[in-house]
Amino acid sequence: EVVMTQSPATLSVSPGERATLSCRASQSVSSNLAWYQQKPGQAPRRLIYDASTRATGTPARFSGSGSGTEFTLTISSLQSEDVAVYYCQQYNNWPPYTFGQGTKLEIK
């Protein structure tokens, strides 16, 4: 099973500043990685897939990068509506699909 490790667990960023979230896989997952955003009381929403492709409706301030075992989700200019928990997921080595434990993004 591929273990996905996200860091940090909680991130506080000022409005307008850059937020950088990390995800590490225990073995290579190529570019088969997605990022999801989950706001309080809501279902997860796909933001990024194939490591760097923005899903329809994902604002341009969100970008994904990386391949193999190291991945990054960057929010270039944090907005108040970006407060959420962010999860990475690998879909390269299955079953099982595996998620990271999540990074909680807060406004400073």
Partner 1 sequence: EVQLLESGGDLVQPGGSLRLSCAASGFPFSNYVMNWVRQAPGKGLEWVAVIGATGGATYYADSVKGRFTISRDNSENTLHLQLNSLRAGDTALYYCAKEGTYIGHAFDIWGQGTMVTVSS
Interface ranges with partner 1 (CB under 8 A): 32, 34, 36, 38, 42-46, 49-50, 55, 87, 89, 91-92, 94-102
The least CB distance from residue 14 to partner 1, in Å, is: 26
Of 71, 102, 100, the C-alpha closest to 86 is 102
Half-sphere exposure of 24 (CA within 13 A, CB side): 5
Shortest Å distance, C-beta 15 to partner 1: 26
Q: Which is nearer to partner 1, 3 or 18 (CB)?
A: 3
Distance in Å, CB of 100 to partner 1, minimum: 8
Residue type, 17: E
